[in-house]
Amino acid sequence: MVKQNATPDSSFWIHATVSNVIEQLLEDFELYVAQAVAEELSEEYRSGAWLHGLIREGRVRVRDAGAATLDRFGPGERAAINLAIENPDWVLLMDDLRPFRAAEELGLSPVSSPVYAASLYKRGVLDEQAVLNVLARLSARSTVSPQLIDLALSQVADITKKGRG
Amino acid sequence: MGTNLKTVSVRLGDQAGARVSKAAQLARQSKGAFLAQAGEEAARHLLLEWAGQRHASGEASLSELAAETGVPIEVIAEHVSAQRSAVATDMYLTSARRLAEALKTPRFYAEAKRAVKAARKDAAGGGSE
């Protein structure tokens, strides 16, 4: 099966590392990171070391947008959004709320790490306790917006109630 | 990272100068090296506090803060987590309880409580980043 392409920003990557969903992410998507995202994530730290290791193995590719449509926000998220603008069929993986909303206003459909975790539950990749563990870990990080966590929690509760159908 | 060093001159009063001399001696450093390290640590601490507040208020993203302060994004994320983890997990539990009540699935709240307990244990062990 052909995988869909996706590009994460640094916040999503850090949270995916904390949630232990990187391998699943690689199963679900062909991952491309913008150079600025790779530069933001230092090899000195766990999430950066993991990313750079995967880049060296060729499991994650580095790609930059040809044009810079967006000039707001930090370098990593800006580069990730520009890459997604240039490749509208790609999934933009992003957690910081302001750029997340800006991406939506630009017509993109960003996916946050809590919602990705909820989708893993929906597909039966994670069971109920496992998805709640992921969301609790993300919550404990305090760098994911509580609104995004609440949204995912509601999805999980809803699926629990109605069944995965 | 480049290795260019910048020179900063400081003027100290007698007492402050004596304290710095003694402290540098205890740290087995020159006064200059001691002050450089102390300044760097103080700057990092102040920048992290400032970044944490800006992120908490939603004024700036991690990426913006890393670019503005020169502090690695993971270090800022770790600092924010250390500051606000307890409050954030309380909010998570409140949401889970409300959902469990609304959907009449008490097991959901029990599992969320277990998840938070494990997450807090992880955070206390510093094993995430």
* ipTM of the predicted assembly exceeds 0.95: no
Q: pLDDT at position A90, please?
A: 94
| Distance between CA atoms of residues A159 and A163, nearest Å | 5
> Residue A132: its pLDDT value, please?
95
Q: Are residues A59 and A122 in the same domain?
A: no
Q: Which helix (H) or strand (E) holds A100?
A: helix A97-105
Those of residues 8-27 in A touching chain B at CB distance below 8 A are 9-11, 14, 17-18
Quote the pLDDT of residue B77.
Answer: 93
CA distance A63 to A81: 12
- Which CATH number goes with the domain that contains A18? 3.40.50.1010
Instruction: Let me know whether A92 and A36 are in one domain.
Output: yes
Is there a contact between A11 and B115 if contact means CB atoms under 8 Å apart? Answer: no
**Cβ neighbours around A125 below 10 Å, total:** 15
**DSSP labels, A37-73:** HHHHS-TTSHHHHHHHHHHHHTSEEE---SS-----S
Check CB contact of A46 with chain B, cutoff 8 Å. Answer: yes
Provide the residue range defining the domain that includes A75: 4-111
Q: Same structural domain for residues A81 and A140?
A: no
Find the residue in B nearest to A148 (Cα): B92
Q: For residue B124, is pLDDT > 90? A: no
CB B62 within 8 A of CB B76: yes
Closest CA to A81 of A47, A14, A91: A91
Same domain, A130 and A104: no
**Could you report the per-residue pLDDT of A61-112, keeping only the tens digit for each?**
999 888 777 778 899 999 999 999 999 999 999 998 889 999 999 999 899 9
Indicate if A95 and A125 belong to the same structural domain: no
> Could you tell me if A42 and A87 lie in one domain?
yes
| CA distance readout (Å), A36 to A45, A46, A73, B70 | 16, 18, 12, 14
Q: Are A136 and A143 in contact (CB under 8 A)?
A: no
Q: Do A76 and A147 belong to one domain?
A: no
Residues A12 and A86 in one domain: yes
pLDDT for A165 equals 56
CA angle B90, B91, B93 (to 5 degrees): 65
Looking at the complex, does the CB of residue B119 fall below 8 Å from at least one CB of chain A?
yes
Residues A38 and A55 in one domain: yes
Question: How confident is the model over A8-33, as pLDDT tens digits?
Answer: 999 999 999 999 999 999 999 999 99
**pLDDT tens digits for A110-162?**
999 999 999 999 999 999 999 999 999 999 998 998 888 999 999 999 888 87
Residues A97 and A133 in one domain: no
For an interface test with A, which of B54, B68, B73, B121 has the most A Cβ atoms less than 10 Å from its Cβ? Answer: B73
Domain total of chain A: 2
B47-96 tens-digit pLDDT: 999 999 999 888 999 999 999 999 999 999 999 988 888 888 998 999 99
Residues A79 and A107 in one domain: yes
Task: Inform me whether the C-beta atom of residue B38 falls under 8 Å from chain A C-beta atoms.
Answer: no
A14 and B129 within 8 Å at the Cβ level: the answer is: yes
Query: In the block, which residue shows the tokens 């606000």?
Result: B84
Residues A25, A62, A93, A49, CA torsion sign? positive
Distance, in Å, from the CA atom of B50 to the CA atom of B59, rounded to the nearest integer, reads: 11
Task: For residues A129 and A67, state if they share a domain.
Answer: no
Are A148 and A114 in contact by the 8 Å Cβ rule? The answer is yes
Does residue B128 surpass a pLDDT of 50?
no
Query: What is the token pair recorded at B40?
Result: 């760097």
